[in-house]
Amino acid sequence: MKASHDMDLEICCSSHGLLPKLDHDFLLILFGILFSVQYIKESEEIRLAMQPLELIKRVREIEQEVYAEPEALQQKDTKQTAAVDLSKRLNDLRSSNDASSLKALEEWRKRKMERARRRELEKNGTFTSHA
C-alpha cells in the first residue's frame, strides 16, 4: 500500500464519477499558491487604483507644452531674424542706392555747371575750343 504523501492523485469513487483524491500537503501548497496569486492580483489592483491618473495626464500635457514652446519660439525667432536681416539688407541697398544716386547727382550737377559756364563764356565771347 502507498504512503499517504505518495497518493497525490489516488482515485476514489463518488456519486458523480471518478474524482482525484488529493493529499493534505498538496492541498496546502495549492491553497498557498492560490492565496499568493490572489494577494498579488489585489495588490496590483490597489496599486493601479492609487495612481494619480489626472496628475500623470496633466504632467504629460505640460511636458508636451514645454516641448512645443521651443519650436514655436524657434519659429518666431527664425521669422524675427529673417525680418531683421531683410530690414538690414534693405537699408544697405538704400544706402548703396543713395550713395550711387548722390554720385550720379553730383556728376550731373558738375556737367550742368560746366555747360552753364561754357554758355556764359560763349556769350561773353571768351570761349575757345580745346578740342
- According to DSSP, the residues that pair with 17 across neighbouring strands are 14
Position 79 scores a pLDDT of 76
Taking the alpha carbons at both ends of the chain, their separation in whole angstroms is: 149
In this structure, the chain runs to a length of 131
Q: Which CA distances in Å does 12 have to 8, 17, 18, 28?
A: 12, 9, 6, 20
Rg (CA), the chain: 51
In angstroms, the CA 84 to CA 33 distance is 73
pLDDT band at 42 (very low <50, low <70, confident <90, very high): very high
pTM: 0.30
3-class SS of residue 125: coil
Position 5 scores a pLDDT of 43
3-class SS of residue 1: coil
